[in-house]
Chains A and B, each alone.
Chain A
């Protein structure tokens, strides 16, 4: 919409790097597509043709975007209801959120899904400045237990309850 005027001017380095990501995925694909084995019985265009087409497309389109950006035609960042488009990107919040997802991944099996989910929720709410923190922690515990009960118990989705809740029958599928 009318974001041209609103978006603060920024250096397009990141945008160029992101477009180069498409180019490099395409280039890597082009280099490796040749090693896809073709069975001797193949009479059509074979399993390599479509990968070549897609990778060439990636390289061409990515290059095209780089050229566009260098000429000053930068992308329009998406808008949304909860976005403050004039705000600066909060890289610290992003890093924290990514970190909490990683922590969640490593907690699921040893500590059980409810614990992992509660940690992810509390951590994310803290990152996004939920106040007071104890309330977020309380909400997270209740939510994790309810989800575990609904999905693990009622809907039969086998989420691991973890050592803490192992003995509670209604948390299992």
Chain B
């Protein structure tokens, strides 16, 4: 079996070390406040530049899962949680930590993430080859439909403001246009500037928006004074009790099966799945446990954490089999793949089978390592959380500059980084989501190629875009998703309203 071959590669001592390094660095950076998984991958890209493709992918697999883990530690232990995919974890986890149950919250998050990550990776191993086989039969018209869905969900569904999401999306599409047109080799929007002929590098935009933009934004309103970390109590009582296990295992499994499907369709990945899982646990809880929600219910940590990690694995299905990133983190992974001339898509499993299976095998390995690493190293993560903020953000600036410079070893690239960073600052200030811009920049050129190909085949008849049953189904589903998300959004608002009321009344 191919997966076994993947394991034989991934289990070589050197590659195990790379995996260990990846999960360690991924978690350490993911723990840092304000750094989400996408920024973790973007910032750590330079460390893989000199590695061979297999080693690089193994490191990325580790960083990807590690970054997800790290975020939950932050939201449980820091008084002021932030990242969107871990906000839900913070609702209950933060309360648990304040009540002296921090260790139990971290444990249920870590074990839940491990279980969900493992089940979801098994599902990925079985599902991905099947989807890839089906995807071989897809034509340009079908791809156009899939990408329209990806654009609309990422741009319009996921932010607080539809128009701002679309503006971010359009700007990303525009930047993606700069450079040489793939189909006709004509220059577009280069204004005869030789630096623009090759286009603007994705890494510069991503690091600029995520790292530099965030650092500038935080610097403009930095919370001064000491960092408050909730202490983690030690001792026998702090660990998961028998009751905690009983209360946790069902949410873990439910979270997994909520998260994975949501990750595989372009419906927002981790964020949406954690909210859904939280809402489900809250509704299913009975009696005194229901009353605990909002005051530190362990189910409210176990479920969403599992959903978060299962969704992270689910996102890899469209990424590997169709080459379509549905989240900013996935867009960063795709950029990393492309650096090694690996083009995800239906043919990936045929052309680069050994590499893909090594990647999937290392996801299993990384997941196990995270479980083993995470709990004993809580003390270290707490230390990382306490890094004085001036050093933290100065360090992010240096790393962002390093990442930008090492793309082409050109100082002018750092200048591009700065311009994008200032843009990222204003986008945060005025409530524009940055993720759609990153996804659009990488998906835009692919979309245009497929769109032009489909129209060329039909002699420019636009109705051809609805000519395949698959495309029709996709557009119909999209309409349903939009209706569904409108409903979800109302539920989410209602949920937030009730939790707010409760936290006020407590």
Given A93-B219, A121-B398, A58 contacting B82 (CB threshold 8 A): no
Whether A105 is near chain B, meaning CB under 8 Å from some CB there, is: yes
Query: Is A70 in the interface zone, CB < 8 Å from B?
Result: no
> Is B220 in contact with A90, judged by CB distance below 8 angstroms?
yes
Check A90–B174 contact: CB distance below 8 A: no
Residues of A within 8 A of B394 (CB): 120-125, 128, 130, 136, 140
Interfacial chain B residues near A46, Cβ < 8 Å:
184, 452
Q: Which residues of chain A are within 8 angstroms of B418 by Cβ–Cβ distance?
A: 98, 101-102, 105
Q: How many A-B residue pairs have CB under 8 A?
A: 260
Cα(A18)–Cα(B456), bound, Å: 38
Interface on chain B toward A: helix, strand, loop, or mixed SS? helix
Q: Are B221 and A94 interface neighbours, CB within 8 A?
A: no
Q: Which residues from chain A contact B50 at a C-beta distance below 8 Å?
A: 155-157, 173
CA distance A144 to B34 in the complex (A): 23
With beta carbons under 8 angstroms apart, the residue of B49, B429, B456 that contacts A43 is B456
Check B184 against A42 for contact (C-beta < 8 Å).
Answer: yes
Contact across chains for B390 and A125 when beta carbons are under 8 A apart:
yes
A81 and B74 in contact, given A102-B418, A120-B398, A130-B388 (Cβ under 8 angstroms): yes
**Contacts of B405-442 to chain A: CB distance below 8 A:** 405-406, 409, 411-412, 414-415, 417-418, 421-422, 425-426, 428-432
Chain A, interface size: which category? Answer: 35 or more
Q: Which residues of B (199-225) have their CB < 8 Å from a CB of A?
A: 212, 214-224
**Contact residues in A for B425 (Cβ distance below 8 Å):** 94
Within the assembled complex, what's the spacing in Å between the Cα atoms of A90 and B14? 47
Cα distance A15–B431 in the bound complex, in angstroms: 10
The docked-state distance in angstroms from the alpha carbon of A122 to that of B398 is: 10
CA distance A87 to B80 in the complex (A): 15
A2 nearest CB neighbor, chain B only: B500
Within the assembled complex, what's the spacing in Å between the Cα atoms of A15 and B163? 14
Interface band, chain B: 35 or more
Q: A47-B188, A80-B82, A117-B401 are in contact. Are A136 and B221 (CB under 8 A)?
A: no
Q: Is the CB of B34 within 8 A of A80?
A: yes
Query: Which residues of A lie under 8 Å from residue B431 when comparing CB positions?
Result: 74-78
A77 to B188, CA, bound (A): 34
Query: How far is it, in angstroms, between the C-alpha of A55 and the C-alpha of B178 when the chains are bound?
Result: 12
- B12 proximal to A (CB < 8 A): no
Report the minimal beta-carbon distance from A64 to chain B, rounded to whole angstroms: 5
Tell me which residues from 64 to 113 in chain A have a Cβ below 8 Å from any Cβ of chain B: 64-65, 68, 74-85, 87-91, 93-94, 97-98, 100-102, 104-106, 108-109, 113
| In the assembled complex, A61 has its CB within 8 A of some CB on chain B | yes
Of B166, B219, B430, which one neighbours A15 at CB under 8 angstroms? B430
Check if A87 sits within 8 Å of B166, measured CB to CB. Answer: no
With a CB–CB cut-off of 8 A, which chain B residues contact A47?
A: 181, 183-184, 186, 188
When distances are taken between beta carbons in the complex, the residues of chain B under 8 Å from A45 are 451-452, 455-456, 460
Classify the interface of chain A: helix, strand, loop or mixed.
Answer: helix
CA distance A93 to B220 in the complex (A): 6
Q: Does A149 contact B (CB under 8 A)?
A: no
A91 to B220 CA separation, bound complex (whole angstroms) = 7
Residues in B neighbouring A93, C-beta threshold 8 A: 219-220, 222
A39 to B180, CA, bound (A): 13
A124–B170 touching, CB < 8 Å:
no
Q: Is the CB of A105 within 8 A of B220?
A: no
| Whole-angstrom CA separation of A69 from B335 in the bound complex | 35
A54 touches B406 (CB 8 A): no
B351: interface (CB < 8 Å): no
Q: Are A51 and B177 in contact (CB under 8 A)?
A: yes
Sample of 5 further A-B pairs with CB below 8 A, known A80-B33, A121-B398, A151-B406: A61-B167, A65-B164, A75-B431, A98-B216, A129-B390
Q: Which 8 A-B pairs have the closest CB atoms?
A: A75-B431, A130-B390, A81-B33, A128-B390, A124-B394, A44-B456, A156-B50, A81-B82
**A→B interface (CB under 8 Å):** 1-2, 14-15, 18-19, 22, 25-26, 29, 32-33, 36-39, 42-47, 49-51, 54-55, 57-58, 61-62, 64-65, 68, 74-85, 87-91, 93-94, 97-98, 100-102, 104-106, 108-109, 113, 116-117, 120-125, 127-130, 136, 139-140, 143-144, 147, 151, 155-160, 173
